[in-house]
């Protein structure tokens, strides 16, 4: 199994990172990298490039650089920088070998860097709700008289302003502050019907389509923009190797699987509905697996209906299901988590083994929060950790404590800060160790599981 090293530069000063012994000598290219077994990779926290979910590193660019490293038997050392400018500075100083992120292709950058590896052509698109074709915007001229909400000062604001000028005016532009709002927030607002339209890069829009199946992102409103990974000019062999690898990879199954994972497979819980109690299973039965929920609930001291609620939220009782992130089986366990509980990946489709491990893991998380006096809050923190990962919940609790909220209360406190971790000023805060997080999914998860549990208890008594 390939080893991975992670470094966050949000908590390491640039002077330390570039200190004595950390720079590479001029001409440090692929042969020297291979000799030292380590590829140092710069990237940014984002919902598509790199993030941590269920305590596992993920992301489109992350998965791709892992594949490249695997080809050369290299240990990838992931360095998460604060912004693009910092990445360029660190690459130029020799702190890392490659930037694995969508860096815009410009002539001025070619003097210092080589564009290579993953290359992409993107453009800006209109985000709108799916409805009858008569009410859809299918041409930019249809935008006249429409209100489009964008973040003030963003490139999307610039583009829609220029488009308005090109059309001779008539587009109603609503520019809002970006201090507490992201493009993804605006996409969510379009999905919910809170605003009519917004603008996003096509890759981010397609990624969000996997969460919100009622949005349309087909209408392009800008010219194409090229972007690419980067290395220093004194690393031509590494550049050639990245180019050759990427050219071959785009037709390989592994690349298609990564594309599908991030830009096609549905995410979230919008398709989870109230379960239908099958009378054929008998009175007082929730699922065909109740005997295991009861057995292992008793074994760890948890209400079996709570375990059933987690299982329903994770898999709708599909024992062979797998989520986009790789969580498997009835209890939606990540392979690494299951392995720590003595269940290998092949056994995750076995209902009994999966439920046993899920019960043990949930109990372990509850015990982790033993210092929290209120049992309901303790359970909610454990459920949030089950869904999003212990690291992000620890970050949210640290933020709550820093900003004067109660780190032992989920409702209105820790849940608030888990949602704020989508914003740079929060996930880059020194008290945070796990970076960007899309916290609204975890908030929904906790609410849904608690809701299922209540309904199961009302339907089926002990």
Give the CATH number of the domain where residue 413 resides. 1.10.530.10
Asked if residue 269 is part of any domain, the answer here is no
Asked if residue 270 is part of any domain, the answer here is no
How many structural domains does the chain have? Answer: 3
pLDDT in tens, 438-458: 999 999 999 999 999 999 999
- On whether both 317 and 412 belong to a single domain, the answer is yes
What pTM does this model have? 0.87
- On whether both 163 and 180 belong to a single domain, the answer is yes
- On whether both 106 and 233 belong to a single domain, the answer is yes
Quick one: pLDDT at residue 257?
94
Catalytic residues: 314
Q: pLDDT averaged over the chain?
A: 91
Asked if residue 268 is part of any domain, the answer here is no
CA distance linking residue 241 with residue 376, whole number of Å = 54
Give SS3 for 440: helix
Average pLDDT over residues 270-285: 58
pLDDT in tens, 312-364: 999 999 999 899 999 999 999 999 999 999 999 999 999 999 999 999 999 99
CA distance linking residue 124 with residue 181, whole number of Å = 18
> Quick one: which of 410, 412, 413, 399 has its CA closest to 446?
410
> Quick one: which of 152, 151, 127, 131 has its CA closest to 208?
127
CATH code for the domain in which residue 143 is found: 3.40.190.10
- On whether both 388 and 400 belong to a single domain, the answer is yes
- On whether both 248 and 396 belong to a single domain, the answer is no
Asked if residue 255 is part of any domain, the answer here is yes
CA distance linking residue 306 with residue 359, whole number of Å = 10
CA distance linking residue 74 with residue 417, whole number of Å = 37
- On whether both 218 and 348 belong to a single domain, the answer is no
8 Å CB contact between 56 and 92? no
- On whether both 218 and 230 belong to a single domain, the answer is no
8 Å CB contact between 80 and 45? yes
Asked if residue 297 is part of any domain, the answer here is yes
Asked if residue 271 is part of any domain, the answer here is no
Count Cβ atoms within 10 A of the Cβ of residue 200 and give its class: 0-12 exposed, 13-18 middle, 19 or more buried. buried
Give SS3 for 319: coil
DSSP strand pairing (147-151 vs 172-176): parallel
- On whether both 438 and 454 belong to a single domain, the answer is yes
**How many other CB atoms sit within 10 Å of the CB of residue 31?**
11
CA distance linking residue 190 with residue 27, whole number of Å = 49
Asked if residue 272 is part of any domain, the answer here is no
Residue 27 has pLDDT above 80, yes or no: no
Q: Which domain holds residue 214?
A: 124-223
Quick one: pLDDT at residue 21?
42
- On whether both 211 and 283 belong to a single domain, the answer is no
Residue 203 has pLDDT above 50, yes or no: yes
- On whether both 320 and 376 belong to a single domain, the answer is yes
> Quick one: which of 333, 458, 431 has its CA closest to 389?
333
Residue 275 has pLDDT above 90, yes or no: no
pLDDT in tens, 140-157: 999 999 999 999 999 999
8 Å CB contact between 384 and 445? yes
Residue 204 — pLDDT band, cuts 50, 70, 90? very high
Helix (H) / strand (E) element for 321: namely none
């Amino acid at each position: 199994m390939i080893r991975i090293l992670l470094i966050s530069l949000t908590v390491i000063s640039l002077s330390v990172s570039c200190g004595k012994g950390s720079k590479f000598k001029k001409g440090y290219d692929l042969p020297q990298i291979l000799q030292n077994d380590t590829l140092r990779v710069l990237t940014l926290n984002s919902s598509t490039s790199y993030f941590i979910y269920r305590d596992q590193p993920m992301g489109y660019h992350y998965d791709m650089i892992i594949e490249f490293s695997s080809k050369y038997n290299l240990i990838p050392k992931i360095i998460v920088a604060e912004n693009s400018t910092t990445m360029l500075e660190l690459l130029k100083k020799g702190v890392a070998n490659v930037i694995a992120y969508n860096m815009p292709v410009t002539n001025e950058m070619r003097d210092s860097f080589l564009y290579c590896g993953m290359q992409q052509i993107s453009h800006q698109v209109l985000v709108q709700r799916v409805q009858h074709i008569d009410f859809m915007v299918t041409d930019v001229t249809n935008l006249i008289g429409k209100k489009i909400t964008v973040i003030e000062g963003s490139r999307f604001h610039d583009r829609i302003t220029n488009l308005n000028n090109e059309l001779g005016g008539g587009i109603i532009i609503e520019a809002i502050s970006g201090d507490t709002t992201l493009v993804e927030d605006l996409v969510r607002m379009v999905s919910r019907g809170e605003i009519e339209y917004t603008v996003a890069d096509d890759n981010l829009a397609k990624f969000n389509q996997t969460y919100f199946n009622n949005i349309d992102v087909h209408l392009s409103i800008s010219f194409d923009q090229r972007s690419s990974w980067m290395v220093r000019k004194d690393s031509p062999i590494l550049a050639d190797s990245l180019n050759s690898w990427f050219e071959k990879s785009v037709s390989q199954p592994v690349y298609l699987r990564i594309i599908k994972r991030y830009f096609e497979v549905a995410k979230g819980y919008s398709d989870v509905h109230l379960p239908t109690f099958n009378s054929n299973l008998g009175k007082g039965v929730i699922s065909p697996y109740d005997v295991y929920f009861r057995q292992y609930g008793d074994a760890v001291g948890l209400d079996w209906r709570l375990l059933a609620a987690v299982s329903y939220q994770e898999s709708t009782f599909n024992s062979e299901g797998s989520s986009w992130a790789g969580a498997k089986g009835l209890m939606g366990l990540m392979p690494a988590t299951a392995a720590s509980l003595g269940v290998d990946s092949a056994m995750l489709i076995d209902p009994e083994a999966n439920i046993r491990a899920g019960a043990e893991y949930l109990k372990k998380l509850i015990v982790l929060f033993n210092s929290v006096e209120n049992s309901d809050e303790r359970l909610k923190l454990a459920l949030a950790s089950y869904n999003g990962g212990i690291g992000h919940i620890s970050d949210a609790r640290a933020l709550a404590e820093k900003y004067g909220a109660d780190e032992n209360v989920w409702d209105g406190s820790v849940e608030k800060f888990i949602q704020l971790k989508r914003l740079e000023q929060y996930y880059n805060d020194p008290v945070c160790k796990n970076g960007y997080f899309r916290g609204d999914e975890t908030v929904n998860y906790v609410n849904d599981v608690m809701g299922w549990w209540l309904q199961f208890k009302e339907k089926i008594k002990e």
